[in-house]
Structure 1
Amino acid sequence: MTRLIALLLIAGTAALAGCNTVSGAGQDISKGGQAISNSAEEHK
């Protein structure tokens, strides 16, 4: 029973860490897109 609880805790932690990584990558890509849009507007 203790092993099962430990395994579930480890799996839950890994899942949360994965979600944070994907979220952070999405925010970085969004900021990059905004910078490109701003640059294009400045050079019109």
Structure 2
Amino acid sequence: MNLFINKCSKLHETQFNLETIHSLYLTREKIYGLNKYIENNIG
């Protein structure tokens, strides 16, 4: 039973990490897009 709980928490941890990485990636994309926009319209 304990092993099962450990596996579940590991799975949850992995999913959490993937979501974090994904949101960081999206944030980076937004910043990149914003920089490009500023370059093209102001710079």
Give TM-score, length-normalised by structure 2.
Answer: 0.89
Partners of 2:18 and 2:41 in 1: CA distance: 35
Q: Percent identity?
A: 12
Runs of 4+ in 1 over 4 A off after TM superposition: none
Q: Larger radius of gyration, structure 1 or 2?
A: 1
Q: Which residue in 1 is equivalent to 2:16?
A: 14
Q: CA RMSD in A?
A: 0.9
Give TM-score, length-normalised by structure 1.
Answer: 0.87
Partners of 2:16 and 2:29 in 1: CA distance: 20
Q: Which residue in 1 is equivalent to 2:33?
A: 31
